[in-house]
Amino acid sequence: MVKKSTLLKGNNLFQNSYYKNHKAELLDLAENGQHPKALFIGCADSRVVPNLITQAAPGELFVIRNVGNFVAPFKPDGDFHSTASGIEYSLTALEVGEIIICGHTHCGAIAALYGELDDKSFVHTKKWLSLGEKAKSLAMEALPKTDKSDELLRLTEKISVINQIENLLTYPMVQERIEKGILQIHGWMYDIATGDIEYYDSDDEKFHSLKQKA
């Protein structure tokens, strides 16, 4: 359990170290606003910290985090759509040029697809996890003899990233910008045990180490 005093000490340390060393940059962000180059859609998992794993400075990433790093298909109605709102804002107001959908290994949301959640306790979560059912079905078809193994979970995690890219492409504003050549979409898989990141290559439909592109 994280104590309140620990978090307060952390903020004091931030103010006395990072803030002092980067005061000019942070004041510029406060006075002139943010101008991030990329939208990062990641999992809410506490082990996946976008700015930490990319070493991006404040103002460089516009971040959306949710359970499973899922993207619901475009649905232009009057309901509440948190992830869709973030996508819309990052493209129209901030004009980001890249969108990264980052999945990760040992994802609890993906593992939950193969378990049973209580209907009353997880009423919203069960609905949200339905966005991963396609990935689960495809993974089970690819590995029909594998029962809830690590191999099956790792494959489901990767297929889910691809599926979320497909859902992202249902947004007219995304398609429009891709056709104009002003937006790029990336699918990443972060390994929480090693810190490595793999990217999805649509040409050969495989994931490759991001180190090869560095």
For residues 95 and 181, is the Cβ–Cβ distance under 8 A? no
d(CA 162, CA 159): 5
Give me the half-sphere count of Cα atoms (radius 13 Å) on the Cβ side of residue 37.
4
209 sits in which H/E element: strand 206-209
Written as six digits, the tokens of 184 are 């790029």
> Mind listing the domains of the chain with CATH numbers?
1-33 (no CATH), 36-213 (3.40.1050.10)
> Are 60 and 37 a contacting pair, CB within 8 Å?
yes
The verdict on pTM exceeding 0.75 is yes
Q: CA 2, CA 38: separation in Å to the nearest integer? A: 31
> Tens digits of per-residue pLDDT, 156-189?
999 999 999 999 999 999 999 999 999 999 999 9
Helices marked H in 143-195 — which ranges? Answer: 150-168, 172-180
Residue 129 corresponds to which tokens in the numbers above? 């996890």
Residue with tokens 């990767």: 158
Lowest mean pLDDT among 17-26, 44-53, 112-121, 202-211: 112-121
Cα distances (Å, whole numbers) of residue 194 to 82, 103, 154, 159, 197: 31, 14, 14, 20, 9
Using left for φ > 0, alpha for ψ between -120 and 50, and beta otherwise, residue 2 falls in beta
CA distances from 65 to 42, 45, 83, 167 (A): 5, 8, 8, 16
- Give per-residue pLDDT as tens, 39-83: 999 999 999 999 999 999 999 999 999 999 999 999 999 889 999
% of the chain surpassing 90 pLDDT: 87
At 7, the amino acid letter reads L
Instruction: Extract the tokens encoding 177.
Output: 């910008």
Q: Round to the nearest angstrom and report the end-to-end CA distance of the chain.
A: 37
